[in-house]
Structure 1
Amino acid sequence: MKRLRKRLAAAGASEERLEWANKVEFLLAIIGFSVDLGNVWRFPYICYRNGGGAFLVPYFVMFIFCGLPLFYMEMALGQFHRCGCISIWKRLVPLFKGVGYATCLIDVYMGCFYNTIISWALFYLSSSFKWPFPWQSCDNVWNTENCVPDNANVSLGNASSNYTNAAEEFFLRRVLEIQNSDGLDNLGNIRWPLLLCLLVIYTIVYFAIWRRPLSSGKAVWFTATVPYVALFALLAHSCTLPGSQAGIKYFLMPDWSKLLNIEVWIDAATQIFFSLGPGFGVLIALASYNSRRNNFYRDAIVAGCINSLTSILSGLVIFSVLGYMADCLNKDIAEVAETGGVNIHSCAENDLFHGFLFFSKGPGLVFIVYPRAISTMKAAPIWSVIFFVMLVTLGVDSTFAGFEAILTAFCDEYPSVLEKNRKVFAMFFMIAMFFLSLPTVTYGGNYLIEYLDHYAVSYPVLIVVMAETVTISYIYGIKRFSDDVEEMLGVKPSRFLKLCWLIVCPAIVSMILIFATVQLKPLTLNNYEYPEWSLILGWIIRLSSIVCIPYVQIYIIQALVRERGSIKSVNYEKLPIISSLLEKIVSVISTQKEKELARAVIKLIKVSRKVERVINFVAANCQTQNLSIKYNIFTKMRQTIIRAKKYSAKIFISALKLIHRQAVVTPATKHESDISQRRSIVIRPSRSTDEQTFIQFAEMNNRRKRKVVEQKYVASVKDAYIHKCYNSS
């Protein structure tokens, strides 16, 4: 019975919200989001550069102390409040609702260029059905005179120092056609083959998310499982290649001295942070479609561990192939890992998106080095199709989740307009995102991709996570958040998790922010320096998402003092983001006796409403489980409450009138002077609207409106009756 007293639903959460068809679909969706292209191309190089196997120590330390707690927190918030990343702040701390808008804006920026990278993989996939591969030969129209055929039997050490590889020229001069652009000042024309691939990607994504989890839940069965089939197949095959064992050994060989370098720990925290994906609103959106009794703690551990193990698996696949390439080219593995075996000084000046930049950040690893290695294997077309299908599914999975976070956020925030027309809204949103992505498929689109990644995503998302963590831990309160978790799981979070949320996570995110701030410098791309106007615009883009947080706060504060500075006169219909403005209504009562009576009435209403929610919840469960006898019992209890209100309503309303006799709205001048003395007023959310209703009662002077308010309080009498019956039992 003690557990029945707990609240069983977040304020305002919809009990009729769609849910995942089964637990596996949710788990696959979470894994599909967290395991993305960065696991394949970024982690292997980061691990190799920071001490090989030794890097796994700071990596898993950061996973345990920062990654997993943040992963857990966002899933808990989404599952309990059952709404998107904007509406959820109405139930947490309304003053920080700008965090939700900032999150959505970051997702939009990322969607503008992330899908273009997937379109590259789709272009390679379509080219994989041609034999020989177009990146093997140098007799194509896009090749230069310095092109060397992609033949493993050619000794690159004996080749001219000015050579360029066929695979390199295919990516730079055929897929990107970057030679036709001079930078942001001249992006050039649209690459029509890439535009077609981009259109295919957006079409797939639309039909995967237009019906919320009903459609995306079925899609993830394919998109989240195919990458693992491909990874294991590629690993099994690459381990049979000559030199692969040396590559794996080189990847895992620990360099313990690297652990003394602070940059290694920063890289580990950054990799964990961007791999698991807190701060993008996706975990909140996907978890909001769970049942409230779902064990999200277990889901967080499973998904987080699978994400980390997938990164290691990808590293084994990549470096086994690099070892094979080093053996074929008779080169050192370090040189192949850094440059892919190509001459990074040989390209023309306009081929700037090139060389070491690719291999240090990833695209060159999967679009130049790996295709080049596949072309030398037996049954090369099969392995090429498998590899690029893996890349496409990895990317599309993350796009599903990112766009779902945006759609869920706005549909939950504006349900009367958008939720009823979700399919139409999703279609127009996809069309808008498609047109916003067009500049990234031009000749110079790669300059724009690097530009957006640097300014629009990396730094702002750190600010969002910092604001989210501090707000939940210190303003919403760890105790309150722990009660929410206990309501869902039956147990409160451990002391370790509370310590991480209060101290460790904010400290680590602050450390990353400080390091990123110190390392800030003008963006360059190999030998290309971005123009000054683009640097100014970049900071505007970077700040555009961050300023959403203070902008909404200023909007709320201005609304509070609008109309003669009266808090009572705030138009709540125009301010849906505020669930309650006054924490203590007793501040408007004059005498001490009336204050005590007001406190007692408010406490009675709050307790009785909790009992009512318990009865409604149990009755609904009994009806769902066909327990007709128990359901009839609770139905009779409801009828008893209705009869009881007839006898106690008059006494209750009389007490309310006595309380509010002196709580009449005063002139503006006097009211403004009273406001300055009310130090107890704080802008925090409340789980009920009793205080607001008290104020409305005092402001209504005509009899008809007063009767409406009285009827609201009559309903609360039944709560008192149940409370009394419960205590007597």
Structure 2
Amino acid sequence: MVLSIVPPRESRCHLGVGLNGKCVADEYRPKGTNKSARTECFIYSEMELQFDPDFQFKLAYPETPKSNSSIKTRMRGQWSSKVEFILAVAGQIIGLGNVWRFPYLCYKNGGGVFFIPYVVFLFTCGIPLFLMETALGQYTSQGSVTCWRRICPLFEGLGYGSQVVVLYSSTYYIIILAWAFFYLFSSFSGELPWASCRNWWNTENCVEFDQLEGAQNRSFMENASSPVKEFWERRVLNITGSVNDLGSVRWELALCLLLAWVLCYFCVWKGVKSTGKVVYFTATFPYVMLLVLLIRGLTLPGAINGITFYLYPNPARLADPQVWMDAGTQIFYSYALCIGCLTALGSYNKYNNNCYKDCVYLCLLNSGTSFVAGFAIFSVLGFMAFEQGVDISVVAESAMMPMAQLWSICFFLMIILLGLDSEFVGLESLMTAITDMNPNFFLQGHRRKLFLLAICVVCFLIGLLMVTEGGLYIFQLFDYYSCSGMTILLFAIAQSICIGWFYGADRLYENIVDMIGYRPLKLMKYCWKYITPVVCISTFVFSLVKFTPLKFNNTVEYPWWGYAVGWWFTLSSTLLVPLWMVYAVLATPGTLRQRLHVLCTPSSDLPSTAQRQKETL
């Protein structure tokens, strides 16, 4: 990078940023300007650069209107095409929660009737917040921290808090990939190791499902253990009997974890240049696998019974508040809301990208995938119930499909790719937020790659705690407290208040109009200002009332230090929002009224819109 101060030939110096010694500003030189007049890049003055770090991104010639965004885009990178953005977002939001959690919630909460609260939350919270975050990223071309700094500095803590959540989730979510890799490698065998009781880790109580079907002894039934359960507890985890006993590291799982982190690193190490290419495979191949599993499942005997069980409505369940809570929680989890990932991905879009249409299509794709995945899962459950001669609600843990090894490989490969997408896109959003906070430092040389490597190494070392013999206890602490529904709801409430009442729902709406060229559904701005915060506050209060401390397997209580660690996970992210507000007010000069005015005023270098020009006049 070349930065130099020289005496100007015109009335004042100019600024440009050049890569590899070339002045990028020459490409935007006004017609008639002698190119030989400038052989390097220039800055206006040391004082301006000192007080305005963003100033270095401005073009060398102030007469040129398209100054700020073009140079910033070159420095940050940009999606090569809209398809890359769509696939990256789809990879982030469509994960394990769609394939397994949504069908389970349907089964748990009244079958087809669960779609009613789900759709209500989708249109009052899901789509509005999804559009808000994506549009903010596209409008500001910034990650989740500097985005809020430019929109409303008082709420910059939202960015810091959300990235703490991303860091926690990246640390523990990848453990699922390690387990999936272990199962995938175990599938390459003559007989699936969890299909029988003829293995060294099985106990005397191990009973295969065909033997269990013919068993009449009640005490035998109560003590029986399936080969699936024993493979999980005794072969994969070798789980200890106490929370206080972590045991030793499971080296096979540790190697699987290392493999997962290596894959994630190389998916992200070049920023969107690498991420945008990887998602062509990682985001599409799971759909191929899901389609194959769906077709195979529908052809199995008993599949229709499973699908009927999946969709059969129980209207009485609508009166249960927990059903509505589960629907809202599923929307926030499956749409990756309020953790900054959508903002980061949207920031690599072109300014005039139709983010509104993209958001609607992506939301429909997400929910549609969840719905279709239910058919694939419950068709197989119907087959399992048919094979065992029992009702689906009491189906045992296993039954073998024909060509079981092949379907096992396909299934776990799909799980790995779904999880890998969510993991490395979340990691990309974290790196985007960090890089945008200090682009001068991180965009020079290999600093970004080295910092990413440091994050991966630290997270891997922490993750080793979760691949010990007692690691599942730590994993559940991460899962229950670090990314809890209450944390996400608090961020959603703060986001809605910031945009609806400080920055202005009308202003963001006009920003979107300026970007896409037409007016989206006006319901969006009413949701940002009124409906979404009310729904989120109501859901948060209900979850607070219903909150119960974590118990392992719903039976074993954690020691005091376990709950202390859990609450640290929760408070270390959520408290950053009010703590930043206090710090910002104290650090800003002037009277209290002047401080609040400065902290609630958007940055002056945001893109011009008709609305802002009208306000200026």
TM normalised by structure 2 equals 0.83
Task: Answer whether contact 1:128 1:381 (CA < 8 A) is retained.
Answer: yes
Instruction: Show CA shifts across 1:360-410 (max 9, x none).
Output: xxxxxxxxx4xx33xx22221111110000000000000011111110000
**1:445 maps to which residue?**
471
Deviation at 1:321, TM superposition (A): 0.9
- The residue matched to 2:203 in structure 1 has which SS? coil
1:558 shift after superposition: 2.3
Deviation at 1:433, TM superposition (A): 1.2
1:211-230 → structure 2 map (5 Å cutoff): 211-230=270-289
Aligned match for 1:424, one of 419, 441, 450: 450
> 2:504 corresponds to which residue?
477
Residue number in structure 1 paired with 2:180:
121
Q: Which residue of structure 1 aligns with residue 406 of structure 2?
A: 382
Q: Does structure 1 residue 684 correspond to structure 2 residue 600?
A: yes
Structure 2 partner of 1:533: 561
Q: Is the 8 A contact 1:102 1:546 kept in 2?
A: yes
Gap regions ≥5 residues in structure 1: 1-6, 342-368, 562-566, 568-674, 690-722
Which of 145, 170, 182 is residue 242 of structure 2 equivalent to? Answer: 182
1:308-457 alignment runs, 5 A limit: 308-336=367-395, 341=396, 369=397, 372-373=398-399, 376-420=400-444, 421-457=447-483
Aligned to 1:171: 232
Match of 2:8 in 1: none
Structure 1 residue matching 2:242: 3-state secondary structure = coil
Q: Is the 8 A contact 2:356 2:520 kept in 1?
A: no
Q: Is the 8 A contact 2:209 2:226 kept in 1?
A: yes
Change (3 A) 1:25 1:453: same
* C-alpha distance 506-46 of structure 1, shift in aligned 2 (>3 A): same
Equivalence map 1:198-237=2 (5 Å): 198-237=257-296
RMSD: 2.2
| 1:103 has 2:171 as partner | no
Mark the CA change 1:172 to 1:9 in structure 2 (over 3 Å): closer, same or farther: farther
Q: Any gaps of 5 or more consecutive residues in structure 2?
A: 1-64, 606-612
Distance 1:219 1:286, change over 3 A: same
- 1:126–1:150 distance in 2 versus 1, CA, 3 Å: farther
Alpha-carbon displacement from aligned partner over 1:478-510 (angstroms, at most 9, x marks no partner): 122122112211124432111111111111211
SS class of match (2:439): coil
Q: Which residue of 2 aligns with 1:558?
A: 586
Give the whole-Å Cα distance in 2 for the aligned partners of 1:122 and 1:130. 14
CA contact (8 A) 2:165 2:483 kept: yes
Q: 1:72-91 alignment to 2 at 5 Å?
A: 72-91=131-150
Q: Distance in 2 between matches of 1:94 and 1:74?
A: 16
CA distance in structure 1 between the aligned counterparts of 2:544 and 2:215, rounded to whole angstroms: 41
Q: Deviation at 1:148?
A: 1.2
| 528, 547, 572: which one aligns with 2:575 | 547
Relative distance call for 1:686 and 1:143 in structure 2 (3 A) is: closer
Identity of aligned residues (%): 40
Instruction: List per-residue Cα deviations over 1:68-101 (Å, max 9, x = no partner).
Output: 1111111100111111101112211111111111
CA distances 1:692-727 after superposition (whole Å, capped 9, x unpaired): xxxxxxxxxxxxxxxxxxxxxxxxxxxxxxx9xxx9
Give the letter for the 1:425 counterpart: F
Decide whether aligned partners of structure 1 residues 481 and 8 sit closer, same or farther in structure 2, where only a CA change above 3 A counts. farther
Instruction: State the aligned residue count.
Output: 536
Distance 1:676 1:61 in 2: 41
Quickly say closer, same or farther: Cα 1:258–1:431, change in 2 above 3 A. same
Distance 2:401 2:413 in 1: 18
Q: Deviations over 1:447-488 (max 9, x none)?
A: 111111111111222211211111011101112212211221
C-alpha spacing 1:308/1:152, structure 2 compared with 1 (3 Å): farther
Matched, 1:28 2:87: yes
Preserved CA contact (<8 Å) 1:455 1:541: yes
Report the CA distance shift for 1:13/1:522 in structure 2 as closer, same or farther (over 3 A).
farther
Question: Is 1:39–1:314's contact at 8 Å kept on the other side of the alignment?
Answer: yes
Q: Does 1:14 align with 2:60?
A: no
Distance 1:146 1:212 in 2: 51
- Structure 1 Cα separation of the partners of residues 375 and 119 of structure 2: 17
TM superposition shift of 1:317: 1.0
C-alpha separation between the residues in 1 aligned to 2:332 and 2:544?
Answer: 17
1:151 CA displacement: 4.5
**SS of 1:398 mapped into structure 2:** helix
Distance 1:481 1:155, change over 3 A: same
Instruction: Report what 2:50 is aligned to.
Output: none
Alignment CA distance shift 1:163-1:408 (3 Å):
same
- Mapped to 2, the partners of 1:59 and 1:223 lie a distance apart of 27
CA distance in 1, matches of 2:592, 2:287: 62
Greater alpha carbon shift after TM alignment, 534-543 vs 107-116: 534-543
Paired position in structure 2 for 1:62: 121
Q: Distance in 2 between matches of 1:141 and 1:678?
A: 72
Higher Rg of the two aligned structures: 1
Aligned partner of 1:488 in structure 2 is 515
Q: 1:306, 1:314 → 2: CA distance?
A: 12
Q: Could you say which residue in structure 1 is the equivalent of 2:191?
A: 132
CA contact (8 A) 1:54 1:254 kept: yes
| Residue aligning to 1:302 | 361
